[in-house]
Structure 1
Amino acid sequence: MFAGDDRTLLDSVRAGSAEAFGELYARHRTAAHAMAKQVVGSPADVEDLVAEAFAKILDVLRRGGGPRSAFRAYLLTTVRNLAMALNNRGRRVQLAAELDGFFGPENHVQFVDPAVLELERELVGKAFARLPHRWRRVLWCMEVERLTTADVSRKLGISRNSAAALAYRARKGLREAYSQVCVGEPTRRRLAAPGVLLAEVA
């Protein structure tokens, strides 16, 4: 057995240790399977999803990216995101929400991991920080302060249509920035507009 905490194992994987990654797999595969069962419908899909998640993370780690700590949270988020991506591409992936129609609440136990919730907050925060100031401001007004489009237009001194368009671009930019953060793109980059990345000035 490979000794050390997850942080040490992750450093060893980046240095080329297959044994260290095998230990990470042994430690966290049960949690990955539990998450996969919540987002796909068949045992075969569960196995495929878990295998793909570990393979994707191994590739990211070998390239020097990925998590420095909190491996389990990163893994579970990867499992969930892969399931969503597969579903969006039209593959037969049955999400947990669809299973609610077949199994009543008394038979369905939602898998909620505090580590995942903590990682989600961290990833959203990093994605939010990549956005231009104007996008961050409109998102804060609408999502945190719960202001209406009319309120935002008055606060920013723009028309309602401009406020609505700005909010749309900001939300789209946040989704794109979140996706980039999840796959471990460099943190010292700022999203200027959807699909456009500019190096952040130090």
Structure 2
Amino acid sequence: MIAGDDRTLLDAVRTGSTEAFGELYSRHRMAAHTMAKQVVGTHSDAEDLVAEAFVKILDVLRRGGGPDSAFRAYLLTTVRNLAMTLNNRDRRVLLAAELDGFYRPDNYVPFIDPAVLKQERELVAKAFARLPRRWRHVLWCMEVEEETTAEMSHRLGISRNSAAALVYRARKGFREAYSQVCAGEPTRRRLAAPGQLLAEVA
């Protein structure tokens, strides 16, 4: 067993240490499996998902990429993204939101990893910051202040149909920006300071 924190192990993996990666696997496999069980339908699918996530990360690390720290957050995000890919490909995956509708005993507490929650907020903030100012304003009013389309149209001095179309475009743009951030694509617009605001609300 190799001693040291995750950062030390990650550096060792990049220099070719399989033992260091084995230690990372031992430390974080159970957390990854817990996440996987929430986003796929069967135990075997969860095992496959975890294995694929570790293989993918090992390949990234050997090519000099991947995280410098916060390995668990990176791992769980990889598990989630692979599950989404499977779901889009063959519809065999049940996402966590869908599972909640089938399984809600009184003692059930959903697994929420603080590291993943923090990273999710950061991703949301980055995606929000990529949007044009007008779209950020619209999303903030609709999603945070919970205004109606009628209130939005009055605020902007436009028709309800125009306001509805604007809200649609802003939401679509935000989804696309979020996908780009998750995929690690470069920023297409200059980041704006208000992006941090959404992270505090999410």
TM-score range, shorter chain: 0.7 to 0.9
Q: Which amino acid aligns with 1:145?
A: E
Q: 1:133 to 1:2 in 2, by over 3 A?
A: farther
Q: Which amino acid aligns with 1:134?
A: R
Distance (Å, rounded) in 2 between the aligned partners of 1:107 and 1:132: 44
Contact 1:66–1:184 at 8 Å: present in 2 too?
Answer: no
How big is the shift at 1:143?
A: 1.0
- Secondary structure at the aligned position of 1:4 is classed as coil
Aligned counterpart in structure 2 of residue 190 of structure 1, from 188, 191, 194: 188
C-alpha root-mean-square deviation of aligned residues, in Å?
2.7
Alignment-derived partner of residue 125 in structure 2:
125
- Structure 2 gap ranges (5+): 192-202
Alignment-derived partner of residue 147 in structure 1:
147
Distance (Å, rounded) in 1 between the aligned partners of 2:6 and 2:129: 27
Alignment-derived partner of residue 90 in structure 2:
90
- Secondary structure at the aligned position of 1:111 is classed as coil
Percent identity of equivalent pairs: 79
Distance (Å, rounded) in 1 between the aligned partners of 2:173 and 2:10: 30
Distance (Å, rounded) in 1 between the aligned partners of 2:166 and 2:104: 41
Tell which deviates more after alignment, 50-59 or 93-102.
93-102
Alignment-derived partner of residue 181 in structure 2:
181
Query: What TM-score, normalized to structure 2?
Result: 0.78
Query: What TM-score, normalized to structure 1?
Result: 0.78
Contact 1:53–1:79 at 8 Å: present in 2 too?
Answer: yes
Contact 1:131–1:190 at 8 Å: present in 2 too?
Answer: no
Higher strand content, 1 or 2: 1
Q: Where do 1:1-202 residues align within 5 Å?
A: 1-14=1-14, 17-62=17-62, 64-99=64-99, 103-106=103-106, 108-186=108-186, 189-190=187-188, 200=190
- Structure 1 gap ranges (5+): 192-199
How big is the shift at 1:89?
A: 2.4
Distance (Å, rounded) in 1 between the aligned partners of 2:61 and 2:161: 44
How many residues matched?
A: 191
Q: Which amino acid aligns with 2:48?
A: D
Contact 1:65–1:184 at 8 Å: present in 2 too?
Answer: no
Distance (Å, rounded) in 1 between the aligned partners of 2:42 and 2:83: 12
Distance (Å, rounded) in 2 between the aligned partners of 1:152 and 1:48: 47
Q: 1:126 to 1:27 in 2, by over 3 A?
A: same
Distance (Å, rounded) in 2 between the aligned partners of 1:65 and 1:133: 32
How big is the shift at 1:53?
A: 1.9
